[in-house]
Amino acid sequence: MDEEVEETVKSGRLKDGLSTAVVAANSMRLALSSKASNLISQVRNSTGGSGYAAEAYNTVEDKLRFNKAEVIGGNNAKNSADRIVNGTEVQTKYYNNSRATVNAAFDESGYRYISKNGSPMQLEVPADQYVQSIEFMRKKILRGDIPGVKDPNEAFRIIRKGHATYEQAQLITQAFNVTSITHDLKSGLIQSTSPAGISVLIVFAHAKWSGATTEEAFKLAAKTGIVHLVIGTVMHATTAQLTKAALNSQINTLLNGSLNKTIVNGVPVVVTSIVLYGWDTLNYSSGKISKNQFKKNTIVKTGGVGGAMIGASLPFFGPTVGAVGFGTVTYIALQKVMDKIYKDDRVIHYPVLKEEFMDLMYSVKLADHEIDEIKQMIFIKKLNRHVKNMQKQLSNQLNTRDFARNQIIIPEISKVIGKRKVITDKEINLLDEYFNSCYY
> In this model, does residue 48 exceed pLDDT 70?
no
Q: Give the distance from CA 78 to its chain's centroid.
A: 37
Beta strand pairing call for 83-85 and 159-161:
unpaired
Instruction: Give the C-alpha separation, 51 to 2, whole Å.
Output: 61
Helix (H) or strand (E) holding 159: strand 159-161
The residues spanned by each domain of the chain are 7-37+173-339, 51-170, 346-418
> In this model, does residue 1 exceed pLDDT 60?
no
DSSP 44: G
Q: Tell me the backbone φ, ψ of residue 71, rounded to 5 degrees.
A: -90, 125
Q: Would you state the pLDDT for residue 134?
A: 98
Instruction: Give the C-alpha separation, 365 to 431, whole Å.
Output: 23
Q: Would you state the pLDDT for residue 257?
A: 77
> In this model, does residue 231 exceed pLDDT 60?
yes
Give whole-number Cα distances, 176 to 54, 181, 189, 236, in Å.
18, 6, 18, 14
For the ranges 73-82, 168-177, 400-409, the lowest mean pLDDT is seen at 73-82
CB neighbours of 283 closer than 8 A, spacing ≥ 6?
A: 289, 294, 388
135 HSE (CA, 13 A, CB side):
7
> In this model, does residue 161 exceed pLDDT 60?
yes
Helix (H) or strand (E) holding 332: helix 319-339
> In this model, does residue 331 exceed pLDDT 60?
yes
Contact 64, 186 (CB under 8 A): yes
The length of the chain, given as a count of residues: 440
Helices then strands, each counted (H, E), the chain: 18, 7
Q: Would you state the pLDDT for residue 43?
A: 55
Q: Would you state the pLDDT for residue 47?
A: 47
pTM of the full structure? 0.88
Q: Would you state the pLDDT for residue 33?
A: 67
Average pLDDT over residues 421-433: 79
H-type alpha helices, 143-213: 155-158, 166-171, 178-209
Q: C-alpha angle 183/185/189, rounded to 5°?
A: 115
**What does the mean pLDDT of the chain come to?**
91
Q: pLDDT for 76-110, tens place per residue? A: 668 899 999 999 999 999 999 999 999 999 999 89
CB neighbours of 310 closer than 8 A, spacing ≥ 6?
A: 322, 326, 330
Instruction: Give the C-alpha separation, 156 to 138, whole Å.
Output: 9
For the ranges 35-49, 241-255, 315-329, 348-362, the lowest mean pLDDT is seen at 35-49
Give whole-number Cα distances, 69 to 55, 64, 72, in Å.
10, 10, 10
Instruction: Give the C-alpha separation, 130 to 124, whole Å.
Output: 9
Instruction: Give the C-alpha separation, 22 to 35, whole Å.
Output: 20
> In this model, does residue 439 exceed pLDDT 70?
no
**Which residues make beta-bridge pairs with 321?**
none
> In this model, does residue 393 exceed pLDDT 70?
yes
Instruction: Give the C-alpha separation, 278 to 387, whole Å.
Output: 19
